């Protein structure tokens, strides 16, 4: 009986030692800082009543009457009374056209390629045409920058991811002011 009592006492002492231990602190997780968006500039086109935003530091070139703008030499924004799907002559080849929405605006999503006629390097493009106040606002991203060396043997390929992301950012920021 003495042995059982001693064993019970030892068991109680061991159990109380286990209870007295402090629980381990949960592991600390350090999250990386949230990515910050690059600062943006706003382009305002007073002649055709629209604004758009683009990352600071990218080149933006507009012609004198502001009917077209080049952003980073790869995104072309133009305004015309002519529906781009009804162009004739040496215009771009449209391989697909479908309805789309850009925020509150309805438009047409066009994809295709341009050929070497007119001194162009053959390449793919993607456009969104938005009709507004009797005009067509056409935002186009090209596979190559407009200052790429002329190469009429180039075969159209994919639009680079970075240019595609910029295109989507510009489209998402487009606002009509009139």
Name the band, by pLDDT with cuts 50, 70 and 90, for residue 118: confident
Quick check: is 27 in a domain? no
Quick check: is 4 in a domain? no
- Predicted TM-score (pTM) of the model is 0.78
Quick check: is 7 in a domain? no
Quick check: is 142 in a domain? yes
Q: Is the pLDDT of residue 111 over 90?
A: yes
Domain that holds residue 156: 39-176
Q: Is the pLDDT of residue 173 over 50?
A: yes
- The CATH number for 53's domain is 3.40.1000.10
**Cβ atoms within 10 Å, residue 47:** 11
Name the band, by pLDDT with cuts 50, 70 and 90, for residue 38: confident
In the chain, the number of structural domains is 1
- The per-residue pLDDT of the chain, averaged, comes to 85
Quick check: is 2 in a domain? no
Q: Is the pLDDT of residue 60 over 50?
A: yes
Q: Mean pLDDT over residues 31-39, rounded?
A: 69
């Amino acid at each position: 009986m003495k042995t059982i009592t001693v064993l019970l006492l030892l068991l109680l002492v061991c159990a109380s030692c286990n209870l007295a231990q402090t629980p381990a602190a949960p592991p600390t997780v350090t999250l990386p800082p949230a990515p910050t968006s690059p600062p943006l500039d706003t382009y305002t086109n007073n002649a055709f009543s629209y604004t758009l935003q683009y990352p600071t530091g990218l080149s933006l070139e507009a012609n004198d009457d502001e009917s077209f703008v080049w952003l980073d030499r790869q995104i072309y924004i133009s305004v015309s009374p002519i529906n781009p799907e009804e162009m004739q002559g040496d215009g771009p080849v449209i391989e697909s056209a479908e309805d789309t929405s850009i925020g509150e605006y309805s438009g047409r999503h066009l994809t295709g390629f341009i050929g070497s006629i007119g001194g162009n390097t053959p390449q793919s493009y993607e456009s969104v045409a938005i009709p507004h106040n009797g005009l067509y606002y056409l935002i186009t991203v090209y596979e190559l920058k407009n200052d790429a060396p002329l190469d009429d043997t180039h075969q159209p390929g994919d639009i680079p991811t970075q240019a595609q992301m910029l295109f989507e950012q510009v489209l998402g920021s487009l606002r009509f002011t009139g």
